[in-house]
Amino acid sequence: MFSRVRSAFMNVVGGIEPVVGMKDVDGPSDERDRHRHLPHKFPYTRPHFLQLHTEEEIAVTADHHIRPIIVPRDINVMPWSAGYAEAVNAGKSMLNEDQACIHRGLLTRQDRNSSDSHKAPSLPYVYFGIFDGHAGSGAAVAAANQLHHIIHEKLVDIIDHLIPPVVQMEKSSRSGLSFFFPGKEVSKESLITGALESAFWDMDQLIGEDKLKYKVNGGCTALAALFIDGKLYVANAGDSRAVLVRHSRSQPMSYDFTPESERQRVRRLAALQPELLGNEYTHLDYCQRPVQKDIGKRILYRDWYMTGWGYKTVTPSDLKLPVVHGEGKRSRVLATIGVTRGFGDHELKALYSNIPIKPFLLCQPEVKVLHVDDEEEWSEEDVLIMGTDGLWDVTSNERVAEIITKSFKQFPQDENRNKYRYTSAAQDLVMSSRGKLTERNWRTSEGKSATIDDISVFVIPIVDYKRDHSAWLEQNKALREQISANMNSINSNVVVERAVHNGHPQDEEEEVSLESVMNGDDEIDTSAPLRLELQ
């Protein structure tokens, strides 16, 4: 009996109280034993860009007494010198259960008539992801290792929209385009959004399947930022958060999904499918929870379709526990879980019962889009902040903007050190929420309680992406012109002749180096006209 209670107790996840030994729990013990013997698909590690190579180094970063703020050792591995910092929890779980990933991708069009991939137009993108694990690190590790690959596949799937074929583009008129945009016009934006949404779905499915073959414990929230095609897409499922700090002001780029914020959705589902509640929970909410002696009395309640309160007479079924219970950070679904979106948790059961929790969870992200390319004025100080709840529980959006602004201001302005400013800012944010150990407690510099949770933060400069994108636009335009010129020359036996700087036209046929265009080398003067002469 004791072990049952203990294992149920250890199933409580996403809590703010330190749950000693909360780990590695997967339902009934026989099931757990079987699970224990499964191999890992991915070993536990810290984010790849931190370059921690040995188990010992990883163990040292998880020192619960020091809670060191870890930053990348080599800033040059970070796109745009983006900042990252993390700190382990104060002992609520042995390992840091947050994970993060950065991926630079390139979508390349393989046209039938050009076998040489150097000549194919391509679209670069940069991805940042953070995952806050609970009840084990398996799901978060799985997401950090795989979500970007799934997203890449989804983007490849819509490559005709992202990188229209050069030749058809040039030759066809409007009607030709409709081949790629059948029926009603679908924007690239909605296709990329769809790619992210379906990638999140597939990721969750994959974790579910892998749980049968591998040891993938727990669940995780997921927050991904994708810089592509001149825009920033932020996809969020869970209570991590993305905030844009612009002109020292904060602007939310995601919405927190918690039992509290998703109260209505969860209660509606409970009302429509009461069998999910196993006769132990109710979809109703009470102003004050009724007890045995209240039966027959009138109390204030609300159904799932109400935001205000009404009266009802208490019946025995009102004594059940509300499906969403508790306020704020303490709110729980089925008295067990404190997050309502993300990956994993397929096997998770409600506290003291055998009721599956997964049906109440969603892996669907909300996607927000920022048109980076539409706006001219991005400064070096405009950044996207991505953080797990360890950051936001203590440091508000406004406070984050203040800290960032102050951090940039006091960071020494010289060429050698400039690239460290985003790392330094990320570190200041982690410091703000982690605070310092005083006596036995972690306290912020204002003397408030600091978080005892894991903290992970990205600080990503927007202007660098804008710059990269503008450069890509030019290169891409030049490349397309080259390719279509080449195509024409092949098709109609045309001599391509390039005007040279000194004004002497070269007489021989010349291979234009498309590779150099791709690489952004300045070898080709793209403003120099290509003269096409029919023989």
Q: Considering the complex, what minimum distance in angstroms separates the CB of residue 60 from another protein? A: 6
Q: Considering the complex, what minimum distance in angstroms separates the CB of residue 374 from another protein? A: 34
> Nearer to another protein by C-beta: 2 or 305?
2
Q: Residue 458 in 3-state DSSP? A: strand
Footprint of another protein (CB under 8 A): 18, 20-21, 23-24, 36, 40, 42-44, 55-60, 62-66, 68-71, 73, 85, 90-91, 94-95, 136-138, 141, 215, 217, 407, 410-412, 416-417, 420, 423-424, 427-428, 431, 435-437, 445
Q: Shortest CA distance to 147 belongs to which of 344, 338, 13?
A: 344
> Nearer to another protein by C-beta: 81 or 482?
81
Q: Considering the complex, what minimum distance in angstroms separates the CB of residue 328 from another protein? A: 26
> Nearer to another protein by C-beta: 19 or 271?
19
Q: Considering the complex, what minimum distance in angstroms separates the CB of residue 15 from another protein? A: 15
> Nearer to another protein by C-beta: 94 or 299?
94
And the tokens for 112?
């039938």
Cβ partners under 8 Å of residue 194, min gap 6: 154, 158
Beta bridge partners of 313: 298
Q: Considering the complex, what minimum distance in angstroms separates the CB of residue 244 from another protein? A: 24
CA distance 270 to 273: 5
Estimate to the nearest angstrom the gap between the alpha carbon of 84 and the chain centroid: 14
> Nearer to another protein by C-beta: 59 or 473?
59
> Nearer to another protein by C-beta: 297 or 417?
417
For residue 450, CA distances in Å to 434, 444, 446 come to: 5, 5, 10
Asked if residue 343 lies in contact with residue 142, where contact means CB atoms within 8 angstroms, the answer is yes
Query: 3-class secondary structure for 240-297?
Result: CEEEEEECCEEEECCCCCCCCCCHHHHHHHHHHCHHHHCCCEECCEECCCCCHHHCCC
Q: Shortest CA distance to 128 belongs to which of 256, 254, 218?
A: 254
Q: Considering the complex, what minimum distance in angstroms separates the CB of residue 381 from another protein? A: 16
> Nearer to another protein by C-beta: 29 or 178?
29
CA distance 301 to 279: 19
> Nearer to another protein by C-beta: 94 or 156?
94
Between strands 281-282 and 321-322, the pairing is parallel
> Using N-to-C axis directions, what is the helix angle for 188-213 and 138-157, rounded to 10°?
140
Query: 3-class secondary structure for 141-191?
Result: HHHHHHHHHHHHHHHHHCHHHHCCCHHHHHHCCHHHHCCCCCCCCCCHHHH
Q: Considering the complex, what minimum distance in angstroms separates the CB of residue 384 from another protein? A: 20
Asked if residue 220 lies in contact with residue 143, where contact means CB atoms within 8 angstroms, the answer is yes
Query: Residue-wise over 386-401: b if at least 16 C-beta within 10 A, else e?
Result: bbbbbbbbbbebebbb
Round the CA-based radius of gyration of the chain to a whole number and report it.
Answer: 27
Q: Considering the complex, what minimum distance in angstroms separates the CB of residue 407 from another protein? A: 8
Q: Considering the complex, what minimum distance in angstroms separates the CB of residue 59 from another protein? A: 4
Beta bridge partners of 129: 101, 224
> Nearer to another protein by C-beta: 73 or 298?
73
Q: Shortest CA distance to 217 belongs to which of 226, 207, 230?
A: 207
Long-range residue pairs from 166-170, CB within 8 A, at least 24 positions apart, any chain = 166/111, 166/121, 166/480, 166/483, 166/484, 166/487, 167/111, 167/113, 167/483, 167/484, 167/487, 169/480, 169/484, 170/484, 170/487
> Nearer to another protein by C-beta: 215 or 265?
215
Q: Considering the complex, what minimum distance in angstroms separates the CB of residue 131 from another protein? A: 13
Q: Considering the complex, what minimum distance in angstroms separates the CB of residue 344 from another protein? A: 12
Q: Considering the complex, what minimum distance in angstroms separates the CB of residue 400 from another protein? A: 17
Backbone angles phi, psi at 449, to 5 degrees: -70, 135
Query: Residue-wise over 206-242: b if at least 16 C-beta within 10 A, else e?
Result: bbbebbeebbbbbbbbbbbbbbbbbbbbbbbbbbbbb
> Nearer to another protein by C-beta: 67 or 325?
67
Q: Considering the complex, what minimum distance in angstroms separates the CB of residue 429 from another protein? A: 11
